Structure 1
Amino acid sequence: MRKLVVVVFMLAGITVMAQKVNFGVKAGLNIANYSSTNQPSNLSSRLAYHVGVLAEVTVSTVFSVQPEIVFSSQGVTNSLGKDEATGKYQYLNIPLMAKYYIFKNISVEMGPQIGFLTAATITAKDAQGKETDIDVSKALNTVDAGINFGLGYKLTNGINFVARYNLGLTNISKARSTSIKQGVIQLSLGYNF
């Protein structure tokens, strides 16, 4: 409880110091994968997408804070010869990014993220191309915490580009014998109003 109070006061202080707030939207490509204690050698990254909204709160000419709400499709693909299984994990992620502008339009960013699992399926495809969806949401923890690192470039017309890596810090598997931590590269195109 004490930590929550400290965070609320810090956010309130940042809001008071803020010079302006720019709202925006973003969307882009996810290159998702994970590391596991029982990881098979035939795993490959899953290409998916993300879409979200953000508010960039300017604190000074070189520093801003950017909370976001992002729907993110993640997971991994496992190929077994002609058979294939793709884990499709859907999250509502809430990153809180600290952005430092090293040049006028170029920023480095870092910050924590909490994600809430909204759906999880494994799509199995056999050699004939027949697909079967299996709900695996009960086998996964509903909350995933991580930390983001990124680099951004913002044009004067509001269009911006961001490359970001989300390093998962928590085990998403409920099985005690398995530890699964996600890693997602995000390439985003955004617009600040």
Structure 2
Amino acid sequence: MKKITFIIGLTLLATNIFGQNTSTEYGLKAGINYSKYTPNIEIKGIDIVDFNGKFGFYLGGFVNFGFSDIIKLQPELIFAIQGTNTSQEIEIRFSPHQEPVFGELKTRITESTISIPIMLQIYPTKNFYIEIGPQLGYIVSTKEKVTDNPFPEFESPFGASEDCPNCDKFDLGASLGIGYNFTRLIGINARYYAGLIERNKTIKSSVINLGINYKL
């Protein structure tokens, strides 16, 4: 939380210092993401659920406030499909008198998320920039689907696809990225997001974004 407060403070300071001569531009952005949960779930130091990355996408819009040629502020509204892949070892006893049989159950968790990043951009050169800022998120839905069941005859206990109505909806973190504008209208951007609060008392989000910006 201290990190978020510091980033917001920098943003407000930049706004106060450079807000006298502000230029405003609007734009759209879209791209792919690679996301996962962290950390793995452990019991007594042993991983019982491993979280692995999954690919998704994002799209949205932004407003860019230029306080000078060096300092800009960019609030965004983004819709993203992200989440994680999971794997865990499960144990089945086909009868009370038989030895247990082990297998690896794999699932895919998909989140539909609305995010509001507020990025402070610093331009060391005319076209290249570094950005940092807080990001708020609201998770519209969370769905888990079994992708590999080692015991298909026991499909029912695991479920084929399930919603998670009781999962935490609010997310908060920080983003750090770089970008390059090829022209006044078109640019590329790479960004890493790290969740700073635990969701469902166990996990945090980790997302890498890569995409294209287009100014209207």
Deviation of 1:83 (Å):
4.3
Deviation of 1:37 (Å):
5.8
Q: Does 1:89 align with 2:93?
A: no
Match of 1:34 among 26, 32, 37: 37
Structure 1, unmatched stretches of 5+, are none
* TM-score normalized by the length of structure 2: 0.75
Specify the alignment match of 1:64 in structure 2.
72
Structure 2, unmatched stretches of 5+, are 89-102
Kept after mapping to 1: 8 A contact 2:39/2:51: no
Q: Does 1:73 align with 2:94?
A: no
Kept after mapping to 2: 8 A contact 1:18/1:57: no
Q: Root-mean-square deviation (CA), in Å?
A: 2.6
* TM-score normalized by the length of structure 1: 0.83
Query: Runs of 4 or more off by more than 6 Å in structure 1?
Result: none
Structure 1 Cα separation of the partners of residues 181 and 210 of structure 2: 14
Structure 1 Cα separation of the partners of residues 34 and 137 of structure 2: 17
Q: Larger Rg: 1 or 2?
A: 2
Specify the alignment match of 1:150 in structure 2.
177
Task: Kindly tell me the number of residue pairs found equivalent between the two proteins.
Answer: 181
Deviation of 1:14 (Å):
7.3
Report the secondary structure of 2:160's partner residue: strand
1:58-92, Cα deviation, whole Å (9 max, x unpaired): 00011100000001112110145674200111110
| Pair 1:118–1:14, CA change in 2 (3 A) | farther
Q: Does 1:110 align with 2:137?
A: no
Match of 2:207 among 173, 180, 184: 184
Report the secondary structure of 1:49's partner residue: strand
Structure 1 Cα separation of the partners of residues 18 and 122 of structure 2: 17
Give % identity: 27
1:69-118, Cα deviation, whole Å (9 max, x unpaired): 00111211014567420011111000000000011100000000000110
What letter matches 2:34 in structure 1?
I
| Pair 1:181–1:26, CA change in 2 (3 A) | same
Bigger drift between 71-80 and 101-110 goes to 71-80
